[in-house]
Structure 1
């Protein structure tokens, strides 16, 4: 370290040293960009690709067949058409597919989702099977989208994967079960019916589940079940490996689910592989074939085929293991280590930073108070990153109200906004350094920034072990590099700079790739993304120090502020550019939620919207902010805005109490609910929780009410809710065990608003709101009269 830096006075840097630092910084940025480029999809393989390989050109006609047209939710005629197509294609491949029709039911929070699903199931027997490999995807969509990426691209990929496997003429070692499930979107209904009732689900197995959280690259691993540590080794078999264990913890706490969720609960282990980019198109009306890239399908299919082949060749019982492995990918390589290494690695990161602090004190580059103050001050950029990152989407929706309709918090073209987040992180860390370096010195601030990485690694090792490497590895690399640089300087300054650059590259690559991973959750979840980017900038702080002018006096301070101010100005330029670039148009329309609710008990009807800031088209019908909302809606939904509507002549669902008996302190009530409108969905609500019961449709065995994930909402007027999708014409029977005789009310939901008095068709530039659960947009709900005990 330079003598002037030890006292905290900014040094006058030689032009050559500044130039060398700039070159090193550019090199680190180039390495990070290269890591991102490795996650881009390959070119789509043509129809003439080798028979044993995946070809997007061969899979594409399947995608066009099943994804062209409107939404195909469970029970829809479009879903029936896809089911029949899948049966024909699997038969043409020499398989004997079957349709498993069954009732599935599971809970989400305090609500129950159930329905009548039609799964397409086929088997390729193994030659010396050690168990079953389930290759899964779902063919239904939500009510708002044709579902090209979620999940019909995966279904098309599976047809091509099966063809590639069959083309070799060789029997796999393990049994392969193809599960093309129905009813995933409203509640994993088909997968639950398969896992609970199909003989092929007995004894569990290994699942390769293909999903579509977005319509863009990369195709990434976003979930590995606990206890499936052996599966992490299979990730290296993917030709385009992308994924990291940090995302798994976030996914499992996010409230999102896939078919693997319910299969895991029934004893399976497995992985979720999904297209992670293009979050704006998730459940969106524009998730069409035209908006899906064949290269993305190629990457998804390549990875899915490789994972399936690896599982088919493996000793499946050996894939199970206690604990969770930690892994991440970079430059097309999967780096993994056992969960038992997490705590030691975090401890090494802490020790490396402590060692650097001791050496800085011994060499008189920084005092203990300086390093202590620098560490305490390090909370500023991290806290600002979280606060500002959490406000980015709110700011954008204020400037551009149309973004409020993007319910997953992601615009159609987010790239410039993402670059703005990077510039924001650089501005925060560089500005923090420029303000404090004269008082605390570069050495102290370097120790302080690395200390936060070490603390993050140690804290995450206990809280979310799969994310600990975000802090532990950059802290370890930075601490070792700092110690090496002390030993190399001043005799070999360029070698010292090179060591710092290598350590910075480790942290920047790891943390920026992680930030890109978390960006898949959308700009509305930007807080975590910006924090990771700030930590990446902390890893590069020694290089930022090298390019910061060091002259004394007001002029020197002004020059030192030039870099941070430029980065801050770039934030504004990029946000402005994003607002100009990401304009709404015919291909990228605004969205709005609107639904109609009729209360047959009072004869009152309402227009409602779930949008906090509704589009003017919906706002014209929903001008009021509701006070107390008493009518039960799916998932306990409360409308954001309402408006009076003319009551339509629509029949309420028929509710018949078939039997009521007393069993000790419990009242057992059996009731049949039947829609008189051929509803997409019926719901039964009770004014007290059910401690048990059964759901049953005619001719099929009853399905026990699943145990609730959480207690009913405090103060809820209707604490019990069970939804049933694709109900048969003769209705559904519910048997409820409650404390005391319950009051009951049923509702049913149909899709489409045409014909209702007062309804005006959507403008051409206003699309359906993406489905998020609750009451779907463009739906009619009829609530029946309360059935008293």
Structure 2
């Protein structure tokens, strides 16, 4: 991109004829217009006001859904808990009241995650709203279980309440074309257990479409963050929702991230679908304070209203035709979904490269830049990017050094807004200051070409490796390069026209990269803010021509803008510290658990916190790099301390059968908890090549096998919500050796453990993400192997 105004001194630097001077006021107005467009794009992603109780019967109302949420989100309800039973009964009653005929599907689900097997006994609630000429089924899903550490308001009971309200709105309207299956699943949190069980249900068979409502955060906007391969036909339905937020770049990155939802299970069985969920409020993810009081009804309105519209669109479509739609690249901006065929990703990236090359050649021919300066500018454009990423990392490092409470949260403070604004202001200060210096040494045109070079390169790389993200770079480089060529031609004779062209050329980069920066900042949190900084950097750099025209040439005056932005960034960071002070409403979190060896009779307090809170350090003060008892997920605690051995029964193990089948050993065990455990663990000291899992009263299911099994305990299976009668495992092992075994059971709650002291009021439990749950009691028993 070029410049709108140069001084005689600049002519000498650039070696070209000076253009007709243009006042800075029009340039400032153009720059403000572009900034306003970026802010408008963010505001367009905000939620609507909650609809009231008198909203039309066929529409979604958060006010009508709220009593459901208040009823089911009173306490943690992990799979198999009495609270979960109460929630399930409530859901069944509500669906019956709508005239539906729900069933409770009970079944075992099992799947692998990394080197481990996760299984359990789930109880799904399933109901059908029949269509009049069904071409398939539309599954509308949410899960009603929570982790043991949270009431699960946002993850996922608000979505469950939304499904109830959606079901009411659908039954209040005319009959849809396709059958709508309501799936309120159990056991999603420990490992998609209910979805695995539902995959065997007759309603899961055939070419279904799934709209899954999830809660990866607790605040708006509600976005479409996952789209299955082959599901591009659903983009047309997504385009009809009233508040669309989502983009193919995010769905592509999500699919590379390793995260899963209930949709992942059915996708493996040929289902196409989308995940809709809240993309902000990461601090409350699985947090004990993910309560109704901390949840916004407007967020529920956005999620539910979007989902209802999308369900209606898909339920009235020809589902086989939807599945035949070609791949599409898309993103939402200003409440509109913009998309184009996926095959255009590479041509558009190539066009962006050609546009930037044309701009560089034209700048050279007009004497605006030399080849060495163009090359140096491309290298120099990396400097602000590196400074910005270092600044973001330094902000989080400084916060965690100031108060370790930040490090214990799930990547984001309770109120991240001031810190996010501080990052944006930091980006403005860095880009503005860098450009003021680069302009003096390289002229105003070459740095713009250097920035466009990296955008074009980003577009090409995305087109090759992640086509859904190719508009980042491809479209912005095409707009910037083509607009830059036009502006350079118009600038001398039609400076106002050139200003208008620059403004239009800057808009795609500022808006698109700005939206991407907001999305990444919300999803990754302040702890991983570097990627969002890169996007904000490209957004700011897209406006360099307007910044050039609006910034005085005098050194002192040119430094005022960057300095002011930097000061404001520091002020906002300070404001963030003030509003995020830890107290009873916004507590620190800490991990503490109790482990008892049934073999030795010795017990220990353990913590996964490397720098424990003083309350934890009272019991688990000693640092350790190893732990001699096998824990879930093969975890090793960071801190340990001696504990009084409680009188707790060990899990019971009964060998039902042990036989040799050729070179294979078949071992059948029944494992039972005498403590009504939330979770049973079975670990083996040798790889397992096959087998089955059977919960009492249920049919056996195949034991899924992890591809990699290594270490002292190569095999591990975790079973959640085990029945009182126990679980039977059949293990197939190579060779004629019975390996050593370890069994453990886990309950939640430390109140009855000797030496336990309740937490301070400003200290909460660490959000559960698997493994050894905080405030859990685990009893471990080992069995030595033998050779025959």
TM superposition score category, shorter chain reference: over 0.9
Q: 1:656, 1:673 within 8 Å by CA — same for their partners in 2? A: yes
The question of 1:711 aligning with 2:708 is answered: yes
Aligned equivalents of 2:360, 2:593: Cα separation in 1: 62
Q: 2:244, 2:337 within 8 Å by CA — same for their partners in 1? A: yes
Aligned equivalents of 1:734, 1:544: Cα separation in 2: 68
Residue 761 of structure 1 is aligned with which of 758, 762, 783?
A: 758
Aligned equivalents of 2:753, 2:475: Cα separation in 1: 61
Question: Which is worse superposed, 318-327 or 500-509?
Answer: 318-327
The question of 1:78 aligning with 2:93 is answered: no
Q: Which residue of 2 aligns with 1:644?
A: 642
Q: Which residue of 2 aligns with 1:504?
A: 506
Aligned equivalents of 1:402, 1:296: Cα separation in 2: 27
Shift of 1:15: 9.7
* Equivalent residue pairs, number: 777
Q: Which residue of 1 aligns with 2:652?
A: 654
Q: Which residue of 2 aligns with 1:743?
A: 740
The question of 1:173 aligning with 2:173 is answered: no
Aligned equivalents of 1:354, 1:38: Cα separation in 2: 34
Q: Which residue of 1 aligns with 2:161?
A: 156
The question of 1:136 aligning with 2:141 is answered: yes
Shift of 1:153: 0.7
Q: Which residue of 1 aligns with 2:589?
A: 591
Question: Which is worse superposed, 236-245 or 633-642?
Answer: 633-642
Q: 2:14, 2:369 within 8 Å by CA — same for their partners in 1? A: no
Q: 1:21, 1:547 within 8 Å by CA — same for their partners in 2? A: yes
TM (norm. structure 2) is: 0.96
Q: Secondary structure at the match of 1:192?
A: helix
Q: Which residue of 2 aligns with 1:24?
A: 30
User: Which deviations, in whole Å up to 9, do the C-alpha atoms of 1:503-531 show, x marking residues without a partner?
Assistant: 22211111111111111221112111111
1:542-581 → structure 2 map (5 Å cutoff): 542-551=545-554, 556=555, 558-581=556-579
Q: 1:392, 1:526 within 8 Å by CA — same for their partners in 2? A: no
CA 1:324/1:786 → structure 2, altered by over 3 Å: closer, same or farther? farther
Residue 695 of structure 1 is aligned with which of 693, 696, 705?
A: 693
Aligned equivalents of 1:10, 1:486: Cα separation in 2: 15
Q: Which residue of 2 aligns with 1:190?
A: 194
Residue 404 of structure 2 is aligned with which of 382, 401, 404?
A: 401
Q: Secondary structure at the match of 1:95?
A: coil
CA 1:753/1:17 → structure 2, altered by over 3 Å: closer, same or farther? same
- What runs of 5+ residues in structure 1 fail to find an aligned partner? none
Shift of 1:670: 1.2
Shift of 1:323: 6.2
Q: Secondary structure at the match of 2:314?
A: helix
The question of 1:53 aligning with 2:59 is answered: yes
Shift of 1:264: 0.7
Shift of 1:465: 1.6
Q: 1:4, 1:10 within 8 Å by CA — same for their partners in 2? A: no
Aligned equivalents of 2:549, 2:662: Cα separation in 1: 79
Q: 1:10, 1:438 within 8 Å by CA — same for their partners in 2? A: no
Q: Secondary structure at the match of 2:783?
A: coil
Question: Which is worse superposed, 351-360 or 372-381?
Answer: 372-381
Q: Which residue of 1 aligns with 2:771?
A: 774
User: Which deviations, in whole Å up to 9, do the C-alpha atoms of 1:429-452 show, x marking residues without a partner?
Assistant: 222212222221111101001111
Aligned equivalents of 1:193, 1:7: Cα separation in 2: 75
1:662-681 → structure 2 map (5 Å cutoff): 662-681=660-679
Shift of 1:785: 2.3
Aligned equivalents of 1:616, 1:480: Cα separation in 2: 61
Q: Which residue of 2 aligns with 1:40?
A: 46
CA 1:326/1:390 → structure 2, altered by over 3 Å: closer, same or farther? farther
Q: Secondary structure at the match of 1:213?
A: coil
What do you get for the CA RMSD once the two structures are aligned? 1.8
Q: Secondary structure at the match of 1:483?
A: helix
Q: 1:246, 1:467 within 8 Å by CA — same for their partners in 2? A: yes
Q: 1:450, 1:478 within 8 Å by CA — same for their partners in 2? A: yes
Shift of 1:775: 1.1
User: Which deviations, in whole Å up to 9, do the C-alpha atoms of 1:16-51 show, x marking residues without a partner?
Assistant: 632222221111111111111111111111111111
1:59-70 → structure 2 map (5 Å cutoff): 59-67=65-73, 69-70=74-75
Q: 1:13, 1:549 within 8 Å by CA — same for their partners in 2? A: no
Shift of 1:391: 4.0
Shift of 1:372: 0.8
Q: Secondary structure at the match of 2:23?
A: helix
Q: Secondary structure at the match of 1:405?
A: coil
Q: Which residue of 2 aligns with 1:87?
A: 92
Q: Which residue of 1 aligns with 2:437?
A: 435
CA 1:423/1:455 → structure 2, altered by over 3 Å: closer, same or farther? same
Q: 2:207, 2:320 within 8 Å by CA — same for their partners in 1? A: no
CA 1:10/1:706 → structure 2, altered by over 3 Å: closer, same or farther? farther
Aligned equivalents of 2:115, 2:20: Cα separation in 1: 66
Q: Which residue of 2 aligns with 1:352?
A: 355
Q: Secondary structure at the match of 2:286?
A: coil
Q: Secondary structure at the match of 2:688?
A: coil
Q: Secondary structure at the match of 1:185?
A: helix
Q: 2:156, 2:215 within 8 Å by CA — same for their partners in 1? A: yes
Residue 752 of structure 1 is aligned with which of 749, 754, 761?
A: 749
Aligned equivalents of 1:387, 1:653: Cα separation in 2: 50
CA 1:374/1:280 → structure 2, altered by over 3 Å: closer, same or farther? same
Q: Which residue of 1 aligns with 2:618?
A: 620
The question of 1:201 aligning with 2:204 is answered: yes
Residue 372 of structure 1 is aligned with which of 360, 364, 375?
A: 375
Question: Which is worse superposed, 419-428 or 352-361?
Answer: 419-428
1:310-349 → structure 2 map (5 Å cutoff): 310-321=313-324, 324-349=327-352
Shift of 1:648: 1.3
Shift of 1:492: 1.4
User: Which deviations, in whole Å up to 9, do the C-alpha atoms of 1:354-402 show, x marking residues without a partner?
Assistant: 1100100111100111101111222222233333334432221112221
Q: Which residue of 2 aligns with 1:122?
A: 127
Aligned equivalents of 2:348, 2:544: Cα separation in 1: 22
Q: Which residue of 1 aligns with 2:479?
A: 477
Q: Secondary structure at the match of 1:186?
A: helix
Q: Secondary structure at the match of 1:656?
A: strand
CA 1:164/1:629 → structure 2, altered by over 3 Å: closer, same or farther? same
Residue 392 of structure 2 is aligned with which of 381, 389, 394?
A: 389
Q: Which residue of 2 aligns with 1:732?
A: 727
CA 1:600/1:10 → structure 2, altered by over 3 Å: closer, same or farther? farther
Aligned equivalents of 2:600, 2:384: Cα separation in 1: 56
1:515-530 → structure 2 map (5 Å cutoff): 515-520=517-522, 521-530=524-533
Aligned equivalents of 1:428, 1:226: Cα separation in 2: 39
Q: Which residue of 1 aligns with 2:309?
A: 306
Aligned equivalents of 2:394, 2:326: Cα separation in 1: 37
Question: Which is worse superposed, 518-527 or 29-38?
Answer: 518-527
Q: Secondary structure at the match of 1:607?
A: strand
Aligned equivalents of 2:436, 2:238: Cα separation in 1: 43
Q: Secondary structure at the match of 2:283?
A: helix
CA 1:225/1:7 → structure 2, altered by over 3 Å: closer, same or farther? farther
Q: 1:73, 1:79 within 8 Å by CA — same for their partners in 2? A: yes
Aligned equivalents of 2:332, 2:501: Cα separation in 1: 23
Question: Which is worse superposed, 104-113 or 19-28?
Answer: 19-28
Shift of 1:614: 2.0
Aligned equivalents of 1:60, 1:366: Cα separation in 2: 62
Aligned equivalents of 2:666, 2:760: Cα separation in 1: 50
Residue 785 of structure 1 is aligned with which of 765, 774, 782?
A: 782
Q: Secondary structure at the match of 2:457?
A: helix
- What runs of 5+ residues in structure 2 fail to find an aligned partner? none
Q: 2:124, 2:184 within 8 Å by CA — same for their partners in 1? A: yes
CA 1:321/1:519 → structure 2, altered by over 3 Å: closer, same or farther? farther
Aligned equivalents of 1:751, 1:198: Cα separation in 2: 32
